[in-house]
Structure 1
Amino acid sequence: MTHITSFFALVLLLAGAAFSAPIENRQVIPAGCTNITISVTASSSDNIPLPPDLTTANFLLLVNPILSRVLDAVASGTYNIAATYCPGVGTRANTLQILIHGGSYTKAYWFGEYFNPDNSWVSYASSEGYATLTIDRVGNGDSSHPDPITIVQLPYQAEQVHQIIVMARGGTLPLPAPYTGTIFDKIILAGHSLGSVVTNNLNAKYPSDADATLLTGYAIFFPPQFTGVFVQSWLAPAFLDPRFAGYNPGYLEFNNENYLTFLFYAPGKFSQSMADVDFATRGTVSLGEAASVMIGSIETTYTGPVMVITGQHDSIYCSTLNIDVQILLGTPLCDMSANGIVGKAATLYPHASDFKVVFPNAGHCWHLHNNASYTFGIAHDWLASQGF
């Protein structure tokens, strides 16, 4: 049954204190977790046939006509995927959460950017006994960085996640002892933002891969009035940053902290120290990712339970105006009805065994807001109610 559930964690927000530790004091991954490298061979016939001369300057001119064409470009290859594995315990030891980060992030997102444990989804999941596998999508973080236009697109990333799920169910993930050979009989997919688009793509093509799905920072489609400004004005070639020296010019990064903060945070709901760390450690977005997100979301035959968790002040999905105008007017308030842009995501999952939407009192990256742990609890209580 489809219905919308909303909540407002005002008490926790008022009680949340700013976390002001310096960047150099960021926490390491939780004890017992291990960084691993997964060699993934995948092929996608659904990538957009983008021109190799795509740039930020000609992005809309070249991309818009392409979107009316059949998506028949083939991308294939074997690339390394950097991941962090945290084992589960008890009855949930063989239930694996695969966590897929959004644009301009890495797997560190699911650890609260290694800054504040209260913002770590992984720490919460571990406390509930779940095993987790956080990955750097190809082209991001410590994973391989192939061609950012023809290879690093969302459909290809979905194919890679599919192969990782095949490994997880078959006991062939390169896990350290004593977990080598572990066969996971339940798979939970959780995505954020672009990671949620990847998850939706995977659910459409491989509807039996995941037993449960959480889509965070997500809505039914990516607002077209946002795309041009985002790519052409708010992103710069990443190689201009010494951290990414030598990168292909098709890899981009945010060039202004105020823009990032407006897009990802809701005023008064977050620690400025967290936002500062976020910008200082920001990752990249490829031109291929930016173009392929405009494919739109896909209706699925997926039958598992689905929860969408999108902040009620999500400036990416809930801005109804050109983003340059919206930033002057201030953070938007989402339409939280079933007919709003977030609620309509239910139309992509008409066969889901359960579908819920939750609106935390936060912005797009609600995991990094002061009430994150409360929202983590909502998500995991729901998973338990679904038998996970």
Structure 2
Amino acid sequence: MSSVSFDVTPPHAPGTTWRLGAELFLPAGDPPDTVQLLLPGLTYDRRYWTAPGALDYTRHAVGEGYAVLALDRPGTGASEHPPAEQVTVESNVEAVHQVVTALREGAPGRPAFRHVVAVGHSLGSGVALIEAARHHDLDALIVTGLLHALGPLYPEAIPALYPASADATLAPSQPPENYLTTLPGRRAALYEHPAGMDPDLSAYHEDTKSTVTAGEGFTLDAIYQPEVAAQVQVPVLLVVGKEDRLFGGGDVSTEDAASVVAHERKFYTGTTDLEAFVVPDAAHSLNVHRTAPSWYAAAHEWLARRGPAHE
């Protein structure tokens, strides 16, 4: 693992540069042709992908022979924290596009990759979805924790936020104004399925929380517009927790993969290659549940069959 950074130009301010932090994981030997770009969700940073032990997605992916870039989106983790109103879904999308371009081009000390697969969670999935629809520079897309249907807990997500500057975990980092995080205890209520959790993982989940900006919150609707998914032309794997009640439990059944595909097919009309995997005993934050490795294995089996081959 090595720490790397990317300088990106936000779309609203030509001449301005934001520095994004990331970790690059490489398997032993020559660098592979394919890199997985991991994009965390709302109030998460790259630590979502490195949960303890067997729940570490990066370790699983590298073990399958992939390079992995775990990115801190703008305003999270080791990335720059611009004014909250500048950090929107749009600025996330264009920042990610510039990172994809940089991954393909390479740089001193960083290999160039022929194939880029985006793996998102929740808001990160939405950012990847718009990026793929707009720029057509991804080879495959793994969308976790995001469907075109809102579940019964979704209306509770925004009221569960409060200023990050008031949070004991995040206040020492001096978050800017209008950076928000989850109220203590609300992550478990919204994002976890108790029967699928261990107490230490729930504690890890709370301790590693990050932020969301007001700018992102006000622009979330861009993700759900039907024309976005319709413009995606690459293979797509949808991954959802069976007990997710932010996006499941409403208009779409998360009981089985066939039900998920049947609902989502009408949105992903630009690709003939759409599959789904339902993670048992897991709610929205898949990677902190005991069953998370089941979707890691399913995703890599799917990539081996339908995504770009790694060499």
- Contact 2:150 2:250 (C-alpha < 8 Å) held by counterparts: no
Cα shift readout 1:132-168 (whole Å, capped 9, x = no counterpart) = 001000011111111112x111121111111111111
Matched, 1:315 2:250: no
Q: How many residues align?
A: 301
The letter of the residue matching 2:175 is Y
- Contact 2:242 2:278 (C-alpha < 8 Å) held by counterparts: yes
- Contact 2:6 2:21 (C-alpha < 8 Å) held by counterparts: yes
- Contact 2:240 2:254 (C-alpha < 8 Å) held by counterparts: no
Given the superposition, is the C-alpha separation of residues 136 and 248 from structure 1 closer, same or farther in structure 2, using an over 3 Å criterion? same
Whole-angstrom distance in 2 between the partners of 1:300 and 1:169: 25
The letter of the residue matching 2:6 is I
Matched, 1:96 2:35: yes
Larger radius of gyration: 1
Taking every aligned residue pair, what percent have the same amino acid on both sides?
26
- Unaligned runs of at least 5 residues, structure 1: 1-32, 44-73, 322-331
Q: 1:37 — aligned with what? A: 5
The letter of the residue matching 2:114 is D
Matched, 1:165 2:92: no
Which one is further off, 280-289 or 130-139? 280-289
Which one is further off, 361-370 or 242-251? 242-251
Whole-angstrom distance in 2 between the partners of 1:337 and 1:196: 18
Q: Structure 1 length as normaliser, TM-score?
A: 0.72
Q: 2:122 — aligned with what? A: 193
- Contact 2:242 2:279 (C-alpha < 8 Å) held by counterparts: yes
Whole-angstrom distance in 1 between the partners of 2:55 and 2:45: 15
SS at match of 2:181: strand
Q: 2:279 — aligned with what? A: 360
Given the superposition, is the C-alpha separation of residues 92 and 214 from structure 1 closer, same or farther in structure 2, using an over 3 Å criterion? farther
Q: 2:54 — aligned with what? A: 118
- Contact 1:299 1:347 (C-alpha < 8 Å) held by counterparts: no
Whole-angstrom distance in 2 between the partners of 1:299 and 1:365: 22
* Mapping 1:237-256, distance limit 5 Å: 237-242=163-168, 243-245=170-172, 246-256=174-184
Cα shift readout 1:280-310 (whole Å, capped 9, x = no counterpart) = 2211111111221123242333322110000
Whole-angstrom distance in 2 between the partners of 1:165 and 1:185: 11
SS at match of 1:347: coil
Question: Among 184, 189, 193, which residue is 1:262 paired with?
Answer: 189
- Unaligned runs of at least 5 residues, structure 2: none
Matched, 1:234 2:160: yes
Shift of 1:223: 5.6
- Contact 2:246 2:284 (C-alpha < 8 Å) held by counterparts: yes
Q: 1:17 — aligned with what? A: none
Question: Among 60, 65, 71, which residue is 1:129 paired with?
Answer: 65
Whole-angstrom distance in 2 between the partners of 1:347 and 1:284: 32
Shift of 1:221: 4.5
Shift of 1:333: 6.8
Given the superposition, is the C-alpha separation of residues 375 and 299 from structure 1 closer, same or farther in structure 2, using an over 3 Å criterion? closer
Shift of 1:92: 6.8
- Contact 2:255 2:278 (C-alpha < 8 Å) held by counterparts: no
Which one is further off, 74-83 or 189-198? 74-83
* Root-mean-square deviation over aligned CA pairs: 2.4
Q: Structure 2 length as normaliser, TM-score?
A: 0.89
Matched, 1:211 2:125: no
Given the superposition, is the C-alpha separation of residues 273 and 141 from structure 1 closer, same or farther in structure 2, using an over 3 Å criterion? same
Whole-angstrom distance in 2 between the partners of 1:382 and 1:334: 19
Q: 1:61 — aligned with what? A: none
Whole-angstrom distance in 1 between the partners of 2:31 and 2:4: 21
* Mapping 1:22-33, distance limit 5 Å: 33=1
The letter of the residue matching 1:262 is A
Shift of 1:353: 4.2
Q: 2:263 — aligned with what? A: 344
